Amino acid sequence: MPTVIPYVPQRITVHLGVPSSYAANVTVSFSDYVKNVASSEIYPTWEESALRANILAIISYALNRVYTEFYRSRGYDFEITNSTAYDQAFVNGRSFFENITRIVDEIFNSYLRRPGFVEPLAAKFCNGTTVTCEGLSQWGSQNLALQGYNSTQILRNYYGNVEIVSNAPIRNITASYPGTPLRLGSSGANVVVIQVELNRISQNYPAIPKLAATDGIFGSRTEASVRAFQQIFSLSVDGIVGPATWYALVRLYTAVTALSELRSEGQRYYSISWEYPDPLQEGDSGEKIRHLQYMLSVLSAYIPSITPIQIDGIFGPATKDAVIAAQRWFGLPETGEVDDPTWEEIYDQFAGIENTSLRDPEDFPTARSSRAQGTQSTTLTQFPGADLQLGQQDPIRQEVIR
């Protein structure tokens, strides 16, 4: 059976602005992208173990965007943005620091992942002084390095049990769609991809026939599963995996990853009220803003027009854009401010997901008991939402990088 594993792209396309802006795209080599971001994000005078830890986080985050086709599956023509509200700092045309260049050249095809998971870790980070987050603290990593921590110890201090994968293959590919439709009689690694995705999605949609073997052969059972998937998600029911079906599978499959990343974040909301607070607007901050951002982040896994945002408790431009996108989806006035109707729609859609797609409280936190009961929308029930653990074996050598 063909082996399907993450790869490092030779080149990556960066959008010089927020996702929906009419900014330019630039395409650079992946290693130059990492050098640029590292030279923009961290100080070259830091201890080498801190530099390596930060660079590995930068690489892993970017590869997660590439591997999950986070933006391309939503119709964009780039892999990542340079907006720190969404992704990592990238300054077009800047020079690189010599020691950062040396480290990146050594480890640009290494990345982090959770044990048992295939995809690179979406390794969030922030500076740890003016901004804090649920990931690596850049200045905190330097402090740990000064205490004698090596890069692996620094990374596990912030991300827990992670593996460092090295020598990932390098390929000159920017989009996963194979270029020609897959149909009855097709075979190869691309068929394995859709078989794995169909089997995972079928855990939430029993109407999709589960495939006994992911053997890379597009037979009648695979065709039947594709047809069932197309029927459920309002695609042309022809049993052929063209671009529309391919990227619908990608979006649904990667939504699982996005929601598993949010699972632990949601635990903090067990004990707070879900009732509508005072109006929320740009410039506000606090726990209610984090609460709002959490619900918007969950919705973004299901509604492509709502771009995921950082859960930092600060109502900035990115949060306002997400609120406007939600209001547009709900048919509400696009004010960018969260009034009572906006909060109720966001909560009801969130509760519909929680109540119908994410029933297992171990997979997704439920807080309905702390909010008054009311009508809960089930508009968005046709999506999966649990941890993704493929358990695939791969030939990539794993080692601790120090």
Q: Which residues of 288-310 are buried (b: 16+ CB within 10 A; e: fewer)?
A: bbbbbbbbbbbbbbbbbebbbbb
Burial class (CB in 10 A: 0-12, 13-18, 19+), 242: middle
389 or 254: whose pLDDT is higher?
A: 254
**Structure-token pair, residue 53:** 């830890």
The most confident of the ranges 3-7, 20-24, 203-207, 231-235 is 20-24
Q: Smallest Cα–Cα separation from 9: which of 194, 223, 175?
A: 175
CA distances from 341 to 254, 264, 275, 276, 313 (A): 30, 28, 12, 9, 21
Average pLDDT, the chain: 79
Residue 313 per-residue DSSP state: S
pLDDT of 16 above 90: yes
The mean pLDDT value for 197-203 works out to 81
What's the predicted TM-score (pTM) here?
0.60
Where does the pLDDT of residue 157 fall: very low under 50, low under 70, confident under 90, or very high at 90 and above? very high
d(CA 264, CA 267): 5
CA distances from 120 to 104, 162, 246, 256, 260 (A): 17, 10, 21, 14, 13
Residue with tokens 């008054």: 372
Residues 6+ apart with CB under 8 A from 40: 89, 90, 91, 94
Positive or negative, the Cα torsion across 10, 16, 22, 26? negative
pLDDT in tens, 288-329: 898 898 889 888 877 778 887 888 889 999 999 999 999 998
pLDDT of 386 above 70: no
44 or 130: whose pLDDT is higher?
A: 44
pLDDT at residue 243, as a whole number: 84
pLDDT of 139 above 70: yes
**Structure-token pair, residue 169:** 């293959």
Partner residues linked to 163 by β-bridges: 113
The dihedrals phi and psi of 80, each to the nearest 5 degrees, come to: -160, 160
Q: Smallest Cα–Cα separation from 11: which of 173, 237, 166, 160?
A: 173
